Amino acid sequence: MLIIPAIDIIDAKCVRLTKGDYDTKKTYNENPLEQAKIFEASGLTHLHLVDLDGAKKGQVQNWKVLETIASNTNLHIDFSGGIKTREQAQQAFDLGAKQITVGSLAVKNQKEFTDWIWEFGEDKLILGADVKDKQIAIQGWQENSNQDIFSFLDYYFEEGIDYVLCTDVSKDGMLQGASVDLYKELLEEYPEIKLIASGGVSCLQDLVELKAIGCYAAIVGKAIYEGKISLKELKEFL
């Protein structure tokens, strides 16, 4: 199972939120490149880079952070937050992202995102499936789409999507454990997807459980920044 550290960006700084609430913002590093290099030096190979400004505004705001990290590290970056057009998707790839995660657009314009799957390839795209009580949340988790996770995945599974990043918003930033039961249910329903678990990871045991049920990867954010999991401890997963 891949371990993917997260860098969430507001005002070009590395921050974390609790339950997606922007009022809970806590800054951990004012230099995202420095943080990315710390991850790379520890042996981690991937990075989940989220433009929280872009997610909230519906328009990418922090292109420069993506470009800077991609130009100065060898990390496999998946970038998300406010990507709404084909041109923006292409720009993310041109600036160095290896993959992009798309959530809101995939809900609001299924045809557009389906076209991207065919144009860019399923290996370049990660379907962002952020959930509150199994309902898809969009616009930086500020809005409920009234669409349930299973009908959402049914559609895109038929369209050939491989990678799905599922965040349980109620768990995110809480350090109270991952939504293992939800992920287990999804993997039983869609055993072929590469499921990336996100939200709530608080200790190594959480990662052991996610690996045991067959998750392709797990994103770790606040647990690293708060010292609940050390980068040294993560080496057993590398």
Looking at residue 134, what is its pLDDT? 79
Q: Which residues are catalytic?
A: 8, 130
φ, ψ dihedrals at 48, nearest 5°? -100, 110
The mean pLDDT of 70-77, rounded to a whole number, is: 98
CA distance 163 to 149: 14
Write down the domain spans for the chain: 2-237
Which residues have CB under 8 Å from 20's CB, separation 6+?
Answer: 137, 140, 141, 142, 169, 172, 173
The mean pLDDT of 20-41, rounded to a whole number, is: 93
Indicate if the pLDDT at residue 132 is higher than 90.
no
The model's pTM: 0.93
Looking at residue 140, what is its pLDDT? 47
5-30 pLDDT per residue, tens = 999 999 999 998 877 788 889 999 99
**Residue 125 is which amino acid?**
L
Homologous superfamily of 2-237: Aldolase class I (3.20.20.70)
Decide: residue 236, CB within 10 A, 0-12 exposed, 13-18 middle, 19+ buried: exposed
Work out the angle at residue 215's Cα, subtended by the Cα atoms of residues 50 and 74, and round it to the nearest 5 degrees: 45
Confidence of residue 200 (pLDDT cuts 50, 70, 90): confident
Strand partners, 205: none
CA torsion angle 169 173 175 181 (round to 10): 20
Give the chain's end-to-end CA distance (angstroms, integer).
Answer: 8
